[in-house]
């Protein structure tokens, strides 16, 4: 576990807080949903049981990698499970129910707040997050926050970082954040410049795989076959074409920046650890966060965490870390799932299935097969499925409560 370079502030509050005194908001919501097929005896149960953990063991959480993990010793709990955590993004904002981006932003920024002792500034691109968090004259932000434009966020963040350096305030850290459109498309020029100069900014992309704020249009992060308002599910090859799109984490790595990571809102420990790791490093850092969008994907709000988990467990969204352009760690797929299981609950893939028999075999098996091939390629490329037993539940030791992915050393 990384050390938190903070004394006082949120960390101190967290450690002195009486565990279990208040029900942490968000710790038991959709995120904590447990699927019955989850294997028993997960790492949670084998974590260092401490008498000071203060809560009776509740086995309904066993096997869940989701929010809370209140079975753990307090020192291993997520930031989000702490009733006394600081809130970067307050309740009362206007995101849709089950919005993965709202969750992701809160998780990531709260973790960054803890890592920096609350000493941070966020620069935000135009997009859902910006719009739902700041309906004038209200604001959900508890941190200094600046919205300038859709495509210039990395450069604005660079400017803030330059100002803080010249003002002799290097302890104040800068986070830039944007949706996938603001990152991979319109903001890419500025982002590439920020990477190349190794400016001291953590840039977070909230990837919901389309331009949601303008009504679900295609971006260069929209996956093949997905229906968007500009890749409608009509014609011979409905949805977004195959063979297009940008792999931003890999492009970020190609800049040789100190740190690149991907994460999903389904694995909170992993996400928080990566944010904390990123905040230990100076220079350009990139976090690509997978955030399901119920509205844009035509999915149930309660499925946000499940879809994020399935994206990882199918291999469609590889979860890994890289330093200076070299992959250093990969989150293994625990139980590989066919892509069909991920596609079926999502309205944006409805055309792949038979409307008369939505639970039956795919109406477009060829398309599903091509998507499966993408997942298989990712699995091979990143080594997402390790040798049998290499990441079996329960193996993560006490020093590794987050189920830290093991090293592969594989350069992409």
Partner 1 sequence: MLRQIEGSRAVAETVALCRPEVVCAYPISPQTHIIEAVGVLVRTGALAPCEFVNVESEFAAMSVSIGASAAGARAYTATASQGLLFMIEAVYNAAGLGLPVVMTLANRAVGAPINIWNDHSDAMAVRDSGWIQLFAETNQEAADLHIQAFRLAESLSLPVMVAMDGFILTHAIERVDLATQEQVDAFLPPYEPRQVLDPADPVSIGAMVGPEAFEEVRYLAHLRQVDALTAIPAVASEFAEHFGRSSGGLLRPYRCEGADTVVVALGSVLGTIKDTVDAMRDDGLAVGVVGITSFRPFPAAAVREALAAARRVVVVEKAFSIGFGGVLSTDVAMALTGSGTPVTTVVAGLGGRPITGASLRECFEAAAAGRAEPLVFLDLNRSLIDRDLERSSARRRTGPTAENVLRDLGTVASGPT
Ligand X SMILES: Cc1ncc(C[n+]2csc(CCOP(=O)(O)OP(=O)(O)O)c2C)c(N)n1
CA distances from 312 to 218, 265, 266 (A): 21, 10, 9
SS3 119: coil
Q: Which helix (H) or strand (E) holds 328?
A: strand 326-330
Region for 374 from its dihedrals, namely left if φ exceeds 0, alpha if ψ lies in -120 to 50, beta otherwise = alpha
Residues 113-142 as x/- pattern, contact with partner 1 by CB under 8 A: -----xxxx-xx-----xx--xxxx-x-xx
SS3 95: coil
| 308 touches 100 (CB < 8 A) | yes
Distance (Å, rounded) from C-alpha 410 to C-alpha 181?
29
| 245 touches 220 (CB < 8 A) | yes
Residues 171-210 as x/- pattern, contact with partner 1 by CB under 8 A: -x----------------xx-xx--xx-------------
Q: According to the binding rule CB under 6 A, does residue 150 interact with ligand SF4? A: no
Residues 45-84 as x/- pattern, contact with ligand X by CB under 6 A: ----------------------------------------
Residues 188-217 that bind Mg ion (CB under 5 A): 208, 212
Q: According to the binding rule CB under 8 A, does residue 283 interact with partner 1? A: no
Residues 216-275 that bind ligand X (CB under 6 A): 219
Residues 274-333 that bind ligand SF4 (CB under 6 A): 293-296
Distance (Å, rounded) from C-alpha 329 to C-alpha 97?
33
The alpha helices in 3-127, defined as continuous H runs, are: 9-16, 43-46, 100-116
Residues 208-247 as x/- pattern, contact with ligand SF4 by CB under 6 A: x---x-----------------------------------
| 318 touches 381 (CB < 8 A) | yes
Closest CA to 333 of 396, 387, 400, 401: 387
Among 84, 149, 251, 392, binds partner 1 (CB under 8 A): 149
Residues 390-409 that bind ligand SF4 (CB under 6 A): none
Residues 103-162 that bind ligand X (CB under 6 A): 126-129, 150-151
- Of 142 and 302, which CB lies nearer to partner 1 in the complex structure? 142
CA atoms within 13 A on the CB side of 55: 20
Report the b/e string of 296-308 with b at 16+ CB within 10 A: bbebbeebbbbbb
- Of 308 and 385, which CB lies nearer to ligand X in the complex structure? 308
Question: What would the two tokens of residue 59 be?
Answer: 């086995």
CB of 118 to partner 1, least distance (A): 6
CB of 275 to ligand X, least distance (A): 19
CB of 7 to partner 1, least distance (A): 16
Q: According to the binding rule CB under 6 A, does residue 213 interact with ligand X? A: yes
Distance (Å, rounded) from C-alpha 100 to C-alpha 218?
18
Q: According to the binding rule CB under 6 A, does residue 182 interact with ligand X? A: yes
- Count the site residues for partner 1 by CB under 8 A: 45
Report how far Cα 276 is from the mean position of its chain's Cα atoms: 13
CB of 179 to Mg ion, least distance (A): 3
Stretch that binds ligand X, among 155-163, 175-183, 304-312, 403-411 (CB under 6 A): 175-183
Partner whose binding site includes residue 129, from Mg ion, partner 1, ligand X, none (CB under 5 to 8 Å by kind): ligand X
Question: What would the two tokens of residue 135 be?
Answer: 């309906």
CB of 190 to partner 1, least distance (A): 5
CA distances from 287 to 104, 112, 171, 393 (A): 11, 12, 20, 26
CB of 277 to Mg ion, least distance (A): 25
Q: According to the binding rule CB under 5 A, does residue 180 interact with Mg ion? A: yes
Q: Which residues contact 303 (CB under 8 A, 6 or more apart)?
A: 30, 98, 292, 294, 345
Q: Is the peptide bond before 137 cis (omega within 30 degrees of 0)?
A: yes
Stretch that binds ligand SF4, among 76-84, 94-102, 314-322, 373-381 (CB under 6 A): 94-102
Q: According to the binding rule CB under 6 A, does residue 252 interact with ligand SF4? A: no
Distance (Å, rounded) from C-alpha 225 to C-alpha 232?
9
First to last CA, the chain: 25
The residue ranges that bind partner 1 (CB under 8 A) are: 118-121, 123-124, 130-131, 134-137, 139, 141-149, 151-152, 155-168, 172, 189-190, 192-193, 196-197
The residue ranges that bind ligand SF4 (CB under 6 A) are: 95-96, 99, 101, 128, 132, 208, 212, 293-296
The residue ranges that bind ligand X (CB under 6 A) are: 101, 126-129, 150-151, 178-182, 206, 208, 211-214, 219
């Amino acid at each position: 576990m990384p050390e938190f370079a903070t004394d006082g502030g949120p960390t101190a509050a967290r450690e002195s807080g009486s565990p279990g005194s208040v029900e942490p908001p968000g710790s038991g919501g959709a995120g904590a949903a447990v699927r019955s097929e989850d294997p028993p005896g997960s790492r949670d149960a084998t974590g260092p049981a401490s008498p000071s953990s203060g809560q009776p063991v509740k086995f309904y959480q066993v096997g869940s990698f989701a929010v809370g993990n209140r079975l753990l010793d307090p020192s291993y709990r997520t930031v989000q499970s702490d009733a006394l955590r600081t809130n970067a993004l307050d309740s009362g904002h206007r995101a849709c129910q089950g919005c993965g981006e709202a969750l992701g932003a809160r998780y990531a920024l709260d973790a960054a707040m803890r890592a920096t002792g609350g000493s941070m500034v966020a620069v935000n691109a135009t997009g859902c997050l910006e719009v739902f968090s700041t309906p004038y004259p209200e604001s959900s932000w508890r941190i200094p926050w600046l919205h300038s434009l859709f495509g210039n966020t990395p450069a604005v963040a660079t400017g803030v970082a330059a100002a803080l350096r010249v003002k002799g305030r290097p302890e104040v850290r800068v986070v830039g954040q944007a949706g996938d459109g603001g990152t991979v498309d319109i903001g890419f020029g500025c982002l590439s410049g920020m990477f190349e100069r190794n400016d001291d900014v953590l840039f977070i992309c909230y990837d919901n795989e389309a331009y949601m704020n303008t009504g679900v249009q295609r971006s260069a992060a929209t996956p093949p076959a997905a229906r968007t308002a500009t890749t409608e599910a009509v014609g011979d090859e409905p949805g977004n074409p195959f063979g297009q799109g940008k792999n931003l984490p890999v492009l970020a790595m190609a800049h040789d920046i100190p740190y690149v990571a991907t994460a999903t809102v389904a694995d909170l420990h992993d996400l928080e650890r990566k944010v904390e790791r990123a905040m230990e490093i100076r220079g350009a850092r990139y976090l690509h966060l997978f955030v399901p969008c119920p509205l844009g994907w035509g999915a149930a709000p309660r499925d946000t965490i499940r879809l994020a988990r399935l994206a990882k467990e199918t291999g469609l969204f590889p979860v890994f870390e890289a330093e200076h352009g070299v992959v250093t760690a990969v989150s293994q797929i625990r139980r590989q799932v066919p892509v069909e299981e991920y596609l079926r609950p999502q309205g944006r893939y409805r055309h792949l299935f038979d409307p008369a028999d939505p639970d039956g075999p795919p109406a477009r098996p060829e398309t599903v097969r091509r998507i499966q091939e993408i997942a298989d390629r990712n699995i091979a490329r990143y080594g997402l499925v390790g040798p049998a037993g290499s990441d079996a539940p329960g193996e993560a030791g006490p020093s590794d409560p987050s189920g830290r992915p093991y090293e592969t050393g594989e350069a992409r």
